[in-house]
Structure 1
Amino acid sequence: KAVWALVEELLPGTLWVAPSLAATKITWYDAVRKCIELTHAAIEVSATVKADMTAKGYTASASDSNCIAYQDTYAPGRKKVYRLLTDAEWMECYNTGKLNSHSQREWVGDAYDSSNRVMRHYDYLNSANQYYAYAPPANSSTSNGGGVTGNIGFRLARIV
C-alpha cells in the first residue's frame, strides 16, 4: 500500500490501483494477459479500443510476442488501459526514499529488459545493488542463493 500511496502522491490522479487486482504465482506474460483481460472487461473502455486490441492480438490468450508489444508500445500513455508499472515508475518510488522494508521487497514487473523479461525486486541484503534481476518470467519461484523466494506477484495500474 505504501508504494501505491507514493505513486499517487508523485503522480496525483493519474494511476488507479485496487488491492482486488492483485494476482500471484504468474509469469510476466500472464500478468500482461491479465492486464489485457481486465481492459477488455472494463465497461469504461470503449468498444473501439477493445476491437482495436482484438485486431492486434491483444486478448486474454495473447502470444508472448503480443504481450511484449502490448506492454511496450500499446498500453503506455493510453487512458483506462491496464498495464504493468514500468521500471522507471518503480525506481522513482524507490529513489524518493519513502519505501518501507515491506514495500521494498514487493515484486515488480520490469519492462526495462524487453529481451529477457526479468523479474526484479529490491535487494535488501545488498543495498549497493538496489534492484536486481532474479529469473526469466517462466519461473513462478526463484532462488537467490539463500533459499527460494517464491510467490512472485504483480500489481496492475492504469491511467484514468
Structure 2
Amino acid sequence: MTKGEALFREGQRVTGIYYVISGEVKALRHTSASDEAVMVRAKAGELFAESAIAAPRYTCDAMAVKPSELLFLANEDLDQALSDSEFTKALFLANAANARRQCSRYERVRLRSARDRVLHLLACESGPDGIFHWPAPLTELAVELALEPETLYRVLRELETANEIIRDKRSFRRIS
C-alpha cells in the first residue's frame, strides 16, 4: 500500500483482519466538523481491524499512514486458524495490548492540558528504554493527541526548555 491509500471504507462488508508486516495504518472517522478522529493505529507487528469481525460492516475508514505491507486473514481462514492454540493465544495477547492502548488513548484525550497529554503519552507508550518513538510527522501526533500542531510544538519546546524531556526529532524521553 502507498501512503494515503485506502484499505477499506466505512460501510464496506467486513471480510477479515490484517496483520501489519511493515509500515503503519490507521482507522479514522470524520466528525461533523470535518475533522479526523483517529480510532486505531497499527504499526509493524500489530493486528489491524480485528474489532471489525464483531460487525457486518466497517464503521470507519482505514488508510496507510506510510507505505505499508499487510497480510490479510479472511474470515474463513481466521475460523480455521482459531483451532490452533498458539495462534489463539497470540491473537488474545494482541487484542489485550490493543485494548490497553485504546484505554490509554481515551484517558489521554480526556485530559484538559496539552502538557498533561504529552506526559501521559510518554508514561503509557514509551518502550522499555523509556523512549517514545513516533514514526510519522508530528502533525500526525498532534491529531493522535487531539491537539493543534502549533500547540504540540509549543508544549514540546516548553518541556525541553524545562529539562523535563529530551527530544530527538520524533523520539522523546522524560528526564524526571
Q: Which of the two has greater strand per residue?
A: 2
How does the TM-score come out when normalised to structure 2?
A: 0.24
Larger Rg: 2
Larger RCO, structures 1/2 (Cα 8 Å, 6+ apart): 1
